[in-house]
Amino acid sequence: MKLNIFANQEQLHEAAAQTIIELLRQKPDAVLGLATGGTPVGIYEALAAAVRRGEVSFARATTFNLDEYVGLPPGHPETYRFYMEQHLFRHIDIPPEQTHIPDGNAPELERECERYERLLETAGRIDLMLLGLGHNGHIGFNEPGRVLHSRTHVAVLHPQTRKANARFFRTPEEVPTRAITMGLGSILKARTILLVVKGADKADIVHRALTGPLTTECPASLLQLHPHLVVMLDEEAATKIKRAASG
């Protein structure tokens, strides 16, 4: 595991964006796994700025998002499709048909999961998977529990996750109860995983995920198995890990 700690969020955003930019320069047709939530917004801004400055192109890249809520009407501002358009896709030169997000309104959700899994398989391995971390250790919407799933599946959102994401909705009741998410197998198959975590409220969980036991109760703990895991933290998220490292 490569651990990088940044003095502030701007530096972290720039460094994460730079990792993606360097990959695209070396491999213009790279396959990227993308995340949503508050964490990657600054990274996407930095990527959009780099495209504007002509420093990088996404024209030949393919993207796969981790997850999508089930049942939000198409175009709803909290769908992850809308989020991706707003924060990244409309600002970069990627052809829309090269961007993939599960369809949370598919009439048959199981079929949609199979379709997404097939698309992932056809694309080959994800070159770089960008991940955030949920307060309960979830990645994508792979929630803590007795079992984890390897493949794309319909997940029931943990009450803590619905509470955390309620800040994006008008009322807590509006937060969907289910989502389609890539499974742990699809995530761990990526050549490189870039885990980005910010803020004092994630210091405990990132410490547990990266130094604690491997357990389905903390899905992100499985990332410890990955041979190319790059972790980027801001100072606030790093406090507990740093304390543990200094004995």
| Rounded alpha-carbon distances, angstroms, from residue 114 to 65, 71, 123, 191 | 15, 18, 14, 22
In the complex with ligand GLP, the residue whose CB is nearer, 104 or 134, is 134
* Residue 36 within binding range of ligand GLP, rule CB under 6 A: yes
Segment near ligand GLP (CB under 6 A), from 1-9, 10-18, 29-37, 104-112?
29-37
Catalytic site residue 143?
Answer: yes
Are residues 230 and 22 in contact, defined by beta-carbon separation less than 8 angstroms? Answer: no
Question: One-letter amino acid identity for 23?
Answer: L
* Residue 161 within binding range of ligand GLP, rule CB under 6 A: yes
In the complex with ligand GLP, the residue whose CB is nearer, 58 or 83, is 83
Task: Report 169-198 residues binding ligand GLP (CB under 6 A).
Answer: none
Are residues 165 and 229 in contact, defined by beta-carbon separation less than 8 angstroms? Answer: no
**Cβ burial, residue 52 (10 Å; 0-12/13-18/19+):** exposed
Catalytic site residue 103?
Answer: no
Q: What is the dihedral of CA 86, 90, 96, 100, to 10 degrees?
A: -30
Catalytic site residue 136?
Answer: yes
In the complex with ligand GLP, the residue whose CB is nearer, 61 or 131, is 131
| Rounded alpha-carbon distances, angstroms, from residue 87 to 37, 45, 120, 130, 187 | 11, 7, 23, 15, 22
What's the rounded Cα separation, in Å, for the pair 127 and 191?
5
Among 67, 68, 127, 234, binds ligand GLP (CB under 6 A): 67
Among 30, 31, 34, 35, binds ligand GLP (CB under 6 A): 35
Catalytic residue (one of 13, 65, 67, 207): 67
Catalytic site residue 4?
Answer: no
Among 9, 19, 39, 98, binds ligand GLP (CB under 6 A): 39
* Residue 165 within binding range of ligand GLP, rule CB under 6 A: yes
From residue 120 to residue 149, the character string flagging contacts with ligand GLP as x (rule: CB under 6 A) and all else as - is ------------xxx-----xx--------
Catalytic residue (one of 68, 103, 143, 234): 143
Give the count of residues interacting with ligand GLP (CB under 6 A). Answer: 14
Q: Give CA 152 to chain center in angstroms.
A: 14
Q: Which residues pair with 99 in a beta bridge?
A: 63
Among 66, 206, 230, 238, binds ligand GLP (CB under 6 A): 66
Half-sphere exposure of 165 (CA within 13 A, CB side): 26
| Rounded alpha-carbon distances, angstroms, from residue 99 to 61, 225, 232 | 9, 28, 25
In the complex with ligand GLP, the residue whose CB is nearer, 21 or 130, is 130
The residues assigned a catalytic role are 67, 136, 138, 143
The residues that touch ligand GLP, with contacts defined as CB under 6 A, are 35-39, 66-67, 132-134, 140-141, 161, 165
